[in-house]
Structure 1
Amino acid sequence: MYFLQGLLIGLATFAPIGMQNLFIINTALVQPWSRIMITIAIVGLFDMTLSTAAFFGIGALIEMWPLLKLVILIIGGAIVTYMGYTVIRNEASLEKVNTNIPIKKIITMSIIVTWGNPQAIIDATMMLGAFRANIPSEYIYHFFAGFLAMTPIWFCSLATIIYLLAKNIQISHLIWINRICGTILIIYGIKLCIDGTMLLLTII
């Protein structure tokens, strides 16, 4: 159950059309399959390292300060809800991104987008921290395994679909992806806020 929940949250997190997905889409549209797979491996690796650091780092803090769980549930839930709202409001596009760049530059760009982006670190920490705080300790690794598994599943699936259907991709398809994923994030975000409120009531 928690593995599937992790998969679903991972899907809702990765699927919206952001800069990483846009880069993979444009790579799949114009580059050979070997270059596509290299790009997926690089982007996916740095995404997974950030997720791992955020998940286990916040878990250690929760164990040190139990009241932090309450704060993370409420604030993290609000952030997840807002993320869902922005995903729905953002306009999906297929604007051209330069994909004819050296492998070393792809690695550098991936590092900057993940570890060099404070907002991405904060969002990942608060989001994963909120879910970790709300999952029984014996199941947290099931959830996180599902979340991590979605990284290669999503990026490979996205690249394969774009590669095979490059001539038939329409902007309306991307818009609906954003709407569905945004709705999923909003539902889970509201649930986290409710759980945090219930925990607060038990403390009071």
Structure 2
Amino acid sequence: MYLRGLLLSLALVSSIGMQNLFVFNNAINQPLKRAWPVTVMVWFADTALTLAAFFGMGAIISAHELFKLIIMFVGGLLVIWIGFGILRSAASFKLESANTPLPMKKSLVNAWVVTWANPQAIIDTSLMFGALRGTLTDSEVTPFITGVISATAIWFFGITLVLGLLKERLPQKFLMWVNIVSGGVVMLYGVYLLWQAVMMVL
């Protein structure tokens, strides 16, 4: 059951999304020793969301359309703001700027925002893990959820380590374009979320 949770979570977390883009940019734009605490915070935030979803938040969201609408609208605005920040940092990106990284407080706050201000992740994770919880016996719950949490740790820390070690060998223009593409994707995703919120009202 541990392996089942591990493989399922790896399949989910490996897709391109807000958290992966954030962890990717964090590893590229900050020295490895400063990137680690931010990655740990992303993992904590993701673990908190997973546990909340697994133990009941999905039922609340599925039962209240207004709650879902608020999450989509507010989250969409925050996602656009995050994307704009990535684009703005790309405009002045220099590898040497790793000597003057983002303030740690801001990085840690953003680590929580990319998880808990991502409405699609909240809704999808809550509904999926809420449904999965109903298929497990009490004895299967602990090994399954431990596997899920282990997978996200392996993935996030692995990305940070690999990129942190390889970024000095990558062309500076490549790293700059990574930021530009990431910021653009995130902003478009935020616009999509706002559009979904509008369609829920119409």
1:11 maps onto 2:20 in alignment: yes
Is 2:23–2:39's contact at 8 Å kept on the other side of the alignment? no
Match of 2:76 in 1: 77
Provide the rounded CA distance (Å) in 2 between the counterparts of 1:6 and 1:199: 29
Match of 1:33 in 2: none
**Structure 1 length-normalised TM:** 0.60
* 1:44-193 equivalences in 2 (<5 Å): 44-54=39-49, 56-57=51-52, 60=57, 63=60, 66=64, 67-90=66-89, 91-93=92-94, 94-97=96-99, 114=108, 117=109, 120-122=111-113, 124-127=115-118, 129-133=119-123, 137-138=127-128, 150-162=155-167, 166=168, 168-193=169-194
Give the counterpart letter for 1:138 in structure 2.
M
Provide the rounded CA distance (Å) in 2 between the counterparts of 1:154 and 1:41: 11
**Structure 2 length-normalised TM:** 0.61
* 1:24-43 equivalences in 2 (<5 Å): 24=32, 43=38
> Which ranges in structure 1 are unaligned for 5 or more consecutive residues?
28-38, 99-108
Provide the rounded CA distance (Å) in 1 between the counterparts of 2:195 and 2:124: 11
Aligned CA RMSD, in angstroms, stands at 4.0
Q: Structure 1 residue 151: deviation in Å? A: 1.4
1:23 maps onto 2:31 in alignment: yes
1:89 to 1:53, Cα distance in 2 relative to 1, 3 A: same
**Percent identity at matched positions?**
16
Is 1:15–1:154's contact at 8 Å kept on the other side of the alignment? yes
Q: Structure 1 residue 149: deviation in Å? A: 5.8
Aligned residues: 167
> Which ranges in structure 2 are unaligned for 5 or more consecutive residues?
1-7, 133-147
